[in-house]
Structure 1
Amino acid sequence: MVVLYRIYSTFFMSHKNYLLLACLICTLSCKKADVASDDEDRNAIFVYIAANNDLKYSAIRSVDQMEKAYRREDGDLIVFVKTDRFSSYILKIKPDNNEGVIASDTLKTYKSQNSSSLDFMREAFKDMSSFTSAKRYGLIMWSHATSWLPESKRVPTTKSFGYDRGEEMDLKDLKTALPKNLKFILFDACYMASVEVVYELRKNADYIIASSSEVLNTSYPYDLILGDLFSGNLTKVCQKFYDYYNSKTGIKQSGTVSLIDTEYLEDLAFETRRVFKKSDRRDINSLSGVAQDFNFVKSIDLGLYDFWSLIRNNYAQIGLVELESALNKCVVYKAHTEYFLNFPIIESSGLTLSLINQPWLLDYYTTLDWYIDSGMDNIY
């Protein structure tokens, strides 16, 4: 999440209003909140915050916003948060308007666990589910992210999600660790509106909210969107995200957001395969059409090209009506500011697509569901 690795110092959170986690825990209620009544229709949202990194103050700010906006009648808001190397916590959010103080109840404490571990993430979700009677819930994933990139000694801090003591989680491990049958996943993290990512996670959630570009460390405005997340008005969530960032000035006016309906992603893969098989272009080096690249600050070594403009500019002669229709069914909503960190955004279809020139990356890329199902082997 955020402008990766804090390239733009103007986006640092002011520390004076937000406490270090050691101070944060002192303010938490020691009692354990009661589990909600046995109501299968109860609403719930889980939040997984992996901020044992340079995001800890931003993470505390997000939790603070959640407390400000939370209403008990909306349902249960269960938050896992880790902001230092020693401890992590499951919190049950309760309403509180005191800025800079986290008042929510501590449900469970963990010692020296890595939030980017597959086994630990699964354990945390299992524990979180024990604190609500809801049978289905939405999920917010909050941290750094690098799209679908695998672990590599060449780029030691790249992996799909999270950053904890130098470790991140591989996309395929993330798919395994995440609960199934989620109402939605909101990625408050960079670069996750890639077709490779959302396709890999298509069976985990009905909808995915994500950004094609980085997400600034001011994060999603949870004080504005929490009620809409509980009510299931995901389009309004995305609209408010866009309005929030579009109202800023200068380089702070930077944001991209997409709402993806995962039901139609397999249709998109089918139509993409049809286009690739019809074309005589069998080498990615022959793809000369220019496309918007959403890797603006080049913090990762990967081109993240706008899906539709890349296909349209290189395969227009094939006939793309069916593919465009499938894309429009997948992307329920999309919006972007005119610029991102002063880089112009010419167009956005709501999803990105990677082209791989590095052999070490291609070895991993060929194992992803998108590569297998969409006919990408026809251009490599």
Structure 2
Amino acid sequence: MRTMIRYTLLLALLALAGCTNDGEEPRYPHSSRVMLVYMAGDNSLGGYVRPNLDDMRRGMASVPAGCRTIAYVDTPGESPRLVEVTASGMTTLHTWPGPQNSAGAATVREVIGRVRTLAPADRYGLVLWSHGLAWMPSWATGYLTHSRARIGAIWPPTKWFGQDTGERPAAYLDTADLAAAIPNGMFDWILFDACFMASAETLYALREKAAKIISSPAEVIADGFPYEKIMPALLRSEPDLRAVCESYHRHYADDPRPAYRSATVSLVETSQLEALAAATASVISAALSADPEALAGMDLSRVQALDRYRRHFLFDAGSVVRELQARGRIPVSLAEVWRMQLARTVVYEAHTPAMLNLPLDECCGVSMYVPAASYADLNAYYETLGWCVRCYPPDFRIER
């Protein structure tokens, strides 16, 4: 009898361990929801990885049962690894044997595929954590110079998306490559813990990758999102993404350190981005019909910039439409139609009065580029973007 009991227990333990016959794929425990945190931290943000992981660990104590958080972690001088973050600590699920380009589309694709295998789930969410520069091409990272107000000032460090300085030369991840690496339909939501990613150009490129996207049209302080506070809302059966945005905004707006009271955040319904592009196309077409120089001749000093570079390239989309209306280039009725569509697209937006030393008099939650002749090589690239193709007349050529 004891032999039979031991034999039965052994069979049960083998089944629980996921043992399979030769040639069969191992079976992994199924979860109701898995959050993948892709931490491309092999750069100046490496020191912020561990504090964010610790915040996630604390947040997991309040997460519903049956949910998991898996983080891909790439930091300077260490082998990239997949770790599971739980309330009790972190467990390594996989370690790559050597350096890896975490700012490469192939790596993003591999990580997502591996997580799908190791952590099967009914639903997934994705956090993209790194440096970022909206829709700008990788070769343009040295194209922009900081404003004099930014140089030498004592401000908290900020971050953007997709940089790996372990590569020589440093590697960057263009928006088009990122979009190609993320499968359609896998993720319910995407959260960008990175600067500038709430640009119309970027969001439009990612419109089929998730139903909702949380991102910032301006910079993100390097400390990132307050994961201890937001983990329960992210991992609910029906995630409360508005609460996530509110927590992020309040976390910085109420910071006792004045320099840290800087945050912009928006929640976008990606199903509405095509309609927003159509409304924007109507605005641009009407403006160019009224004045072919409506954009090239726009006084950009009258438009709200959302970056702090000497030559701005990210402008508040609402501010652009407001300026075209104020100059009589589009009728009030068309501007109102655009604003109504914006409200259906950006379902939540919040911002502090300033982003570090940049006053935010206007911030609708989405940025857009205004073509300028001084950015000749950038304009040539911009014309290849889906947003530009959709919003500008086929025969329109940006002055350069």
**Shorter-chain TM-score range:** 0.7 to 0.9
Aligned length: 338
Instruction: Check conservation: 1:35, 1:133, Cα contact below 8 A.
Output: no
Task: Report the counterpart of residue 80 of structure 1 in structure 2.
Answer: 72
Mean Cα deviation higher: 223-232 or 354-363: 354-363
1:118 aligns with 2:125: no
Give 1:87-102 correspondences, 5 Å limit. Answer: 87-96=79-88
Return the alpha-carbon distance in structure 2 between the equivalents of residues 177 and 125 of structure 1.
9
Task: Report the counterpart of residue 45 of structure 1 in structure 2.
Answer: 35
Task: Report the counterpart of residue 22 of structure 1 in structure 2.
Answer: none
1:202 partner SS:
coil
Mean Cα deviation higher: 183-192 or 319-328: 319-328
Instruction: Check conservation: 2:130, 2:193, Cα contact below 8 A.
Output: yes
One-letter code aligned to 1:46: L
Task: Report the counterpart of residue 146 of structure 1 in structure 2.
Answer: 133
Return the alpha-carbon distance in structure 2 between the equivalents of residues 85 and 311 of structure 1.
47
| 1:148-184 per-position Cα deviation (integer Å, ceiling 9, x unaligned) | 11022772899x8311121110110010112322111
Distance 1:86 1:61, change over 3 A: closer
Return the alpha-carbon distance in structure 1 between the equivalents of residues 102 and 313 of structure 2.
28
What residue ranges of structure 2 are gaps of 5+ in the alignment? 1-16, 19-25, 146-159
1:243 aligns with 2:250: yes
Task: Report the counterpart of residue 309 of structure 1 in structure 2.
Answer: 319
What residue ranges of structure 1 are gaps of 5+ in the alignment? 1-30, 97-102
Task: Report the counterpart of residue 374 of structure 1 in structure 2.
Answer: 391
Shift of 1:379: 7.4
Shift of 1:323: 1.0
One-letter code aligned to 2:229: L
Instruction: Check conservation: 1:213, 1:256, Cα contact below 8 A.
Output: yes
| 1:173-229 per-position Cα deviation (integer Å, ceiling 9, x unaligned) | 010112322111100000001101101100111111001111001110000001001
Taking only the aligned residue pairs, the percentage that are identical comes to: 30
Instruction: Check conservation: 2:267, 2:346, Cα contact below 8 A.
Output: yes
1:320 partner SS:
helix
Give 2:179's match in structure 1, choosing from 175, 196, 206: 175
In the superposition, the TM-score normalised over structure 1's length comes to 0.84
One-letter code aligned to 2:313: G
1:203 aligns with 2:201: no
1:272 aligns with 2:283: no
Instruction: Check conservation: 2:188, 2:210, Cα contact below 8 A.
Output: yes
One-letter code aligned to 2:272: Y
Task: Report the counterpart of residue 338 of structure 2 in structure 1.
Answer: 323
One-letter code aligned to 1:174: L
One-letter code aligned to 2:377: W
| 1:298-350 per-position Cα deviation (integer Å, ceiling 9, x unaligned) | 18x54211101111211354232221111110001000111221332101110
Instruction: Check conservation: 2:275, 2:341, Cα contact below 8 A.
Output: yes
One-letter code aligned to 1:133: P
Return the alpha-carbon distance in structure 1 between the equivalents of residues 136 and 217 of structure 2.
14
Distance 1:188 1:370, change over 3 A: same
Give 1:350's match in structure 2, choosing from 341, 365, 374: 365
